[in-house]
Structure 1
Amino acid sequence: MNIAQTSAARSATKASVQNLTVDQLMSNAQGLVAGLAKRAAKTEELRKLPDETMAELYEAGLMRIITPKRYGGLEMDWPALPEAARIIARGCASTAWIVAVVGGHSGIVGRCPKAIQDEIFEAGPNQLFATGSAQTTGKLMKAKGGVTANGIWRFASGCDHASWIMVNGDVLNEDGSKSGRAVRVVVPAKHVEILDTWHVAGMKGTGSKDLNFNNVFVPEKWLVDGPSNFQANPPGAEVNSECYLYDVAFGAYFSSWLLGPVLGAAEGAYEAYRESTKGRVSAMMPNSPAQLHTVQERLAESYCELEAARALYDKHNQFLHQRGMERRNIKPDEFIDSGRERTYIARLCHNLVHRLVRQMGAVGIYDTNPVQRFYRDLNVMQNQVALNWDVHMMNFGRRQLGLPTGMERLDNPPPERTPWGATNGKARSG
């Protein structure tokens, strides 16, 4: 069900949401945490966000964080998006993923040509964009006046509530050969079939199902050049000129909004463990778990890792914000650094929660235990390509040793485009 145009969602009027400050937005997020935690089991059972959760997210302004202001969005700088998701994740990591990842897709749209933005947001600012991020059998065949899409794209988080679908791919000639053109396709969600494939161990509520395109014709006006959409100075940069997220090269930001759900899930797990352990009585031992030295020691060690993750998260976000304010692109070496920091934050968060789960004994195996849910969610989030330990650590290690990474875009990057704002008076100190 698309909640974007329901009466509950419309109650978040353009004026009331658009006037939110960052502090007010974070307060709105905090106000939802307790309810999301109570609803977490239902969210897992549904394998998508409940309708009431989506309505709350719209009402709180959490799905408009980087929606362009000209269309009723908040158009906030980094790191408002991951930080709001971090708060939400303390109650439900799946909901936080929708805020960060799916909510972040409105920033991709804000980089598109103005005509596309105008038509998308004509129905109002509460538009939700689900993206089939993994092209499996999906093909985009050249057709008269556009392309025809067929096949499957996977991992479309939030697709059950989406108003629009986006997928990427190379345009193929009639003989199946590549035309040399890579595009992002934007289509109304009603034209795409959702396949019920999201039966998973964690992050169940994201509803990241497969999308099936059955001979869907996409007119030329809805084809966005893929590379230029993520490079500096995309078509939307001059249209939405005040916010650097629509202007500078987008890759590092796109990969880093995952950190909010990851860190917030670790914080939620730590607090749930600490609170439950305070009053827990052991059925097998004379002392309560809180009296055990091993429990105290492991709690302290996990807290140290949590503090380290927080510090690295803040450093990482400050760097991205500074580069954006200066209207400077992230260089290939800096992108490698960003990947190393992202994956290390995720590893710290996973490790600290794993330690707590091991200490819980049999109590930790029940689905009703929130620590167990957070742990499963962290396991799944770690598998996202932007947080892949082996890839990003190997890239950094090879660079340290003077070796190529083996990735063309890092070893031999294309000529850099200058952000629009860098030459039009928008650069500021970070």
Structure 2
Amino acid sequence: MTITSDSRPETSATPGENFIAIAQSLVPGLKDRAEETELLRKLPDATVEELRAVNYVGAAMPARFGGRDLGFDVIGRASADLAEGCPATAWVAANCALHTFMLGYFPLAIQELVFGDTGVTPFIGNGLKMSQAKAQSAPGGYRLTGRWDFSSGIMHADWTMVAAISDVGPKLFLVNKSQFTIDDTWETHGLRGTGSHDTVVDDQFIADEFVLNLQSLGDGTAPGLQVQTNPFYRVPIFSLAAGGIIASLIGAGRQAVQIFEERALVVPGGWTGVFGATRPGLQVDLADASASLATVERLHWSNLEEIKEKAENDLEITIDDRVRWRRDQTFASVRIAEMVQKLFASSGGQALQWKNPINRAFRDATAASHHIGVQPDLVYPAYSKVRFGVDPEYTVF
């Protein structure tokens, strides 16, 4: 099914509720195309068309450019719903929505150039790993060279944002698709449909107005912030950046619970053909998994509501808030990945089939939990050090 701008399921509900309803309307088609998405190692054209038609990646885009100007509390819930259909699609959609929001940090003239008046919101990729990138200041800008792996959604990107260490400090560069190439490297265990290939830039000139100090994303000094009205621009970006990861994990977790429950009722297992629903061990597994998922979801949505309240009321966001939110995002990742793995392990030999839906949910959840932004050995110590009054050192929070 193709959703067009004229067929959006808009109602008299709030803009946020409308957007969530739109996301839910896309789920059946995403489920139907989940296997195709894996095989293509990118989003199918039909999926990209649907996301563009409903302006999904423009969810937090400024209204002056035709965006929805929504908050990440809404985008998080909508993306978790998308992920029930396809976690890889939700991963790309949520992250591109974040990057479109991040364009608002750039000067207004750059926002006007990129958003333009075409009525089509650009897909913006990203690459923040700086170890294989370098930039040298030059008259009027920088010469940029580098390779960025894990570039989710880059196959559909009109622009990308990449980070690099320059001779005058770490910078964020906005790069047009005419200035980068894509190296096909994404042969992975899970989230194959994200098409997170390598982005390559070879000695390209990037003008100053397309460059930000990386620090400005967290300290409120980015030039574009002067014209923004969305209160979520008051939130340090690293408090929001893991939202797409958690949404994809929640969707994969919901998939796994639903599939496990349905198959236990209708698929005979073992040598005797006993239905899983009658086995006490599987009964325990389902109860434990559903409780774990419900607990994680309550924690995650509660934190997003807290972030929203602080942003809307211009309340101080302390370092304690930031490390706690990052701790909870990481906790959610760990717990959902463990829960899905347990359901996969309890699903018997049939779950080993690559096309089995619970196999895909397991692989996608495992892949999502491997993101560097939700690694306990990096995030948890920062929380504990702040609580102990020690310099946290790790600054991505």
TM bracket, shorter-chain basis: over 0.9
Q: 1:138 to 1:272 in 2, by over 3 A?
A: same
Instruction: Provide the TM-score with structure 1 as the length reference.
Output: 0.86
Aligned-partner Cα distance in 1 for 2:107–2:73? 25
Q: Residues 389-413 of structure 1: CA distance to partner in whole angstroms, max 9, x if unpaired? A: 2222222333444444333688xxx
The residue aligned with 2:93 is 99
- Match for residue 130 of structure 1 among 117, 125, 143: 125
Q: Residues 81-117 of structure 1: CA distance to partner in whole angstroms, max 9, x if unpaired? A: 1111100000100000011112211110012210110
Aligned-partner Cα distance in 2 for 1:399–1:237? 28
- Match for residue 365 of structure 2 among 360, 375, 378: 378
Whether contact under 8 Å (2:20, 2:78) holds in the other structure is yes
- 2:24 maps to 1:30: yes
Whether contact under 8 Å (2:130, 2:165) holds in the other structure is no
The residue aligned with 2:247 is 260
Letter in 2 for 1:170: I
5+ residue gaps, structure 1 = 1-7, 173-178, 411-430
Whether contact under 8 Å (1:268, 1:374) holds in the other structure is yes
Q: Which moved more, 1:43-52 or 1:75-84?
A: 75-84
Aligned-partner Cα distance in 2 for 1:331–1:33? 37
Aligned-partner Cα distance in 2 for 1:137–1:233? 27
- 2:296 maps to 1:309: yes
Alignment of 1:338-357 (within 5 A): 338-357=325-344
Whether contact under 8 Å (2:212, 2:222) holds in the other structure is no
Whether contact under 8 Å (1:202, 1:377) holds in the other structure is yes
Aligned-partner Cα distance in 1 for 2:219–2:316? 9
Instruction: Provide the TM-score with structure 2 as the length reference.
Output: 0.93
Alignment of 1:322-341 (within 5 A): 322-341=309-328
Letter in 2 for 1:90: E
Letter in 2 for 1:240: Q
Alignment of 1:24-423 (within 5 A): 24-122=18-116, 123-172=118-167, 179=168, 181-232=169-220, 234-241=222-229, 243-407=230-394
Aligned-partner Cα distance in 1 for 2:212–2:5? 30
Q: Residues 146-203 of structure 1: CA distance to partner in whole angstroms, max 9, x if unpaired? A: 111112122111111111111112222xxxxxx2x33211121122110001111111
Q: 1:308 to 1:360 in 2, by over 3 A?
A: same
Whether contact under 8 Å (2:232, 2:308) holds in the other structure is no
Q: 1:250 to 1:328 in 2, by over 3 A?
A: farther
Q: 1:279 to 1:31 in 2, by over 3 A?
A: same
Aligned-partner Cα distance in 1 for 2:279–2:190? 30
Letter in 1 for 2:25: G
Whether contact under 8 Å (1:234, 1:246) holds in the other structure is no
Q: Residues 29-56 of structure 1: CA distance to partner in whole angstroms, max 9, x if unpaired? A: 1111121112111111111111110111
Letter in 1 for 2:198: D
Q: Which moved more, 1:38-47 or 1:381-390?
A: 381-390
Could you tell me how far 1:303 is from its partner in structure 2? 1.1
4+ residue runs of structure 1 moved beyond 6 angstroms? Answer: none
Aligned-partner Cα distance in 2 for 1:254–1:244? 16
SS of 2:283's equivalent? helix
Would you say how many aligned residue pairs link Structure 1 and Structure 2? 392
Q: Identity, % of aligned pairs?
A: 24
Whether contact under 8 Å (2:91, 2:194) holds in the other structure is yes
SS of 1:200's equivalent? coil
Q: Residues 110-137 of structure 1: CA distance to partner in whole angstroms, max 9, x if unpaired? A: 1221011011111434111101121232
